[in-house]
Amino acid sequence: MSKCVKCGRETVDGGDLCADCRNAELVYGDEAEEKGQTSAEFRGSRKFGLKRGIIGAVLSFIALSFASSVIGYAAIVMGVRLGSLADKTGGDGIPYQTIEAVLIALTVICSLISEACLVIGIILGTKSIKGYKGQVKAGYIKPIPTLVLGIAAVALGALSVLLIFSGYVFLIIGLAV
């Protein structure tokens, strides 16, 4: 029998890791090693994956904020195109074509920022949910905050996708008029 390279216990199948360390490696990956913790110290923490969940939820919220801007700017472009601005100029006499071009640029910029944030937020949210499932499957303490933040990140990201799509629909309708 050989010994586990992480904890020194004997392995049953002659592998490099014992069953506990192999399971911890599958659940936690390299996260425990980066912190200098052994698998036994890191396992079972209620805070497991919490940072990932918080970052994912915050990024998804930022994505939602920018996605709201996308739909707002696109609606204003549609209003400018439909002639709802009575004199077809801005408050300082700026032609509506200039206003429209700036609003389209803002729509695209907000959309790109939102898309970048939502992709990262959804990935981190999904990893948080998987980390929760791994903890539960391994029989450790359930990191409920990690699960809640993971679900929030994925839900906010999905809502951001819908808002961006709606904003593009408004923009296309506005430009088609």
Same domain for 81 and 165: yes
Same domain for 115 and 54: yes
Same domain for 59 and 7: no
Average pLDDT over residues 105-125: 93
What is the domain count for the chain?
Answer: 2
Same domain for 125 and 91: yes
Same domain for 134 and 110: yes
Same domain for 82 and 65: yes
Q: Is the full-model pTM beyond 0.85?
A: no
pLDDT tens figures, 43-88:
567 778 888 999 999 999 999 999 998 888 888 877 777 765 545 5
pLDDT tens figures, 132-165:
888 888 778 888 888 999 999 999 999 999 999 9
Residues 6+ apart with CB under 8 A from 109: none
Same domain for 17 and 70: no
Same domain for 108 and 87: yes
Q: Which of 13-17, 113-117, 141-145 has the lowest mean pLDDT?
A: 13-17
Same domain for 158 and 71: yes
Same domain for 134 and 54: yes
Confidence of residue 10 (pLDDT cuts 50, 70, 90): confident
115 vs 98, which has greater pLDDT?
115
Same domain for 85 and 36: no
Which domain does 6 fall in, by range? 1-43
Confidence of residue 104 (pLDDT cuts 50, 70, 90): confident
Residue 105: pLDDT over 60? yes
pLDDT tens figures, 82-102:
765 545 555 566 677 787 788
